[in-house]
Amino acid sequence: MTTISGNSATATPGASVTLNAGYFSQRAWGEWLFALIVVAGGVFALGRYHESMDVYEKGILLAAMPAAIWMGWFWRPLQVLMLTVAGLSLLGIASYQGALERAETVFWLKYFLSSQSAILWMSMLFFMATAFYWIGVFAKGRADGVESVASRLVWAAVTLALTGTMVRWYESYLLGADIGHIPVSNLYEVFVLFCWLTATFYLYFEAQYKTRALGAFVMLVVSAAVGFLLWYTVVRQAHEIQPLVPALKSWWMKLHVPANFIGYGTFALAAMVAFAYLIKQQATESRWYKLAPLWLLGVVLCFEPVVFRKSAVLGMSDYWAVYFGISALIVASILFGRKRLAAKLPSFEVLDDVMYKSIAVGFAFFTIATVLGALWAAEAWGGYWSWDPKETWALIVWLNYAAWLHMRLMKGLRGTVAAWWALGGLAVTTFAFIGVNMFLSGLHSYGTL
């Protein structure tokens, strides 16, 4: 028998031949069609807009083409996502016909495809998905069907989040060539980025491990982000596109911010998986003082209304009062249904593996983002590191997860300690993400509250 692997072969006379198919030979015609569409779109964009792009932006566009193809080949649902987002974005862009005011007169722009409409749909769909995941957890019959609906709602939310982002990018240029920028420059825009990135990584793990039970937990942190986003939109009119400050007018932003938020999103995902781990572990515990993870969730969910209340004198607004009530309902549901939750959750081994992989991916991208941020700082402010509060807390986040991974790989860290550490890491990450903007000031104070 002859077996060929790479350039080597061993042969037995008169035997059949078995070939190990190469990476490219395994690709179906649909995948090659997808690759052709990506390349054609990239070449078209380069040909049409090259005069408005510097050499670095051209390099980013050229590198994005093989990256998009590889991601689509690596996980096929991304092919459908990217093509759908491209189609909806192009429809929205074409509908403007160069006039921003058409957002109020064209039906599908006004209600679906303008950036603000698409992001509002994203928000509603994430809330609905969270509700359906929790209904699926406690449903006695047809739970799989309910959770399947929840998963589809998350896909729809991610699609509209990306569509809104793409259209917002175009809308910024309709306001003026000097105003146009990639929409990752302020708290409103990066919260949208955080939501769809976290949800997409969750959907990947959901497909890989063939379990939807974790959606009930992961969507809590996404819904909390959406809750803040809606409040921030109303209070600060944050959806309005603003010109960039001089330091942000750089191609570095296109790389640094997305890489940073892949880290934030996967760290948040790992923390919610860690929370699920602890709930499963303490499902049969009857002593109230032993249910520490649950009380911690209650404190965290109720923290936002306290921080963002009208004032210490006036108390909470109606919005945060409703948020507080929903948070209390969630905590109570988990308290009384923890045994059923534990039965639905995957094994401790799966939970531990998802936690580890999420942190590993996040740490890799957060490291890249930190290096890119240092290079950007050198260009913008003349130094790679200035111990600005945002930089300092980014270093704390990096050291926290570096230590977690070190203990995992070198000392075999597993189980309860690893879960508590990952859950505590969410507090550190949250402060680095938004707490610095709230309580500290510095060179990175672009998204103040």
AA letter at 53: M
How do residues 228-257 score in pLDDT, each as one tens digit?
Answer: 899 888 887 888 998 988 878 888 999 999
d(CA 447, CA 257): 13
**Cβ atoms < 10 Å from Cβ of 202:** 29
Buried b (16+ CB within 10 A) or exposed e, 229-268: bbbbbeeeebbebeebeebbebbbbbbbbbbbbbbbbbbb
Please state, for a pLDDT cut of 90, what percent of the chain lies above it. Answer: 58
Q: Between β-strands 2-5 and 17-19, what pairing exists: parallel, antiparallel or unpaired?
A: parallel
Interval 58-100: pLDDT, tens: 999 999 999 999 999 999 999 999 999 999 999 999 999 999 9
pLDDT in tens, 407-421: 999 999 998 899 999
CA dihedral 198, 449, 172, 43 (to 10 degrees): -30
Pairing of strands 8-10, 17-19: unpaired
What is the tens place of the pLDDT at every residue in 31-67? 999 999 999 999 999 998 888 888 988 999 999 999 9
Residue linked to tokens 């520490």 = 292
The predicted pLDDT at position 448 comes to 55
345 φ/ψ sector (left φ>0, alpha ψ -120 to 50, else beta): beta
- Half-sphere exposure of residue 378, counting CA atoms within 13 Å on the CB side? 7
pLDDT tier at 20, thresholds 50, 70, 90: low
Name the band, by pLDDT with cuts 50, 70 and 90, for residue 305.
low
CB count, 10 Å around CB of 194? Answer: 25
Better-scored residue on pLDDT, 320 or 314:
320
Domain ranges in the chain are 29-439
| Amino acid found at 255 | L
Q: Mean pLDDT in the chain?
A: 86
Q: In the predicted model, what is the mean pLDDT of residues 294-299? A: 64
Residue 213 near residue 219 (C-beta atoms within 8 A):
no
DSSP H or E segment with residue 5: strand 2-5
Q: Is the dihedral of CA 139, 142, 145, 149 positive or negative?
A: negative
From edge to edge, which strands make up the β-sheet containing 8-10? Answer: 8-10, 2-5, 17-19
Number of H helices, E strands in the chain: 16, 3
Please choose, from the candidates 350, 317, 329, the residue with its C-alpha nearest in 3D space to the C-alpha of residue 131: 329
Question: Do 9 and 2 touch, CB atoms closer than 8 A?
Answer: yes
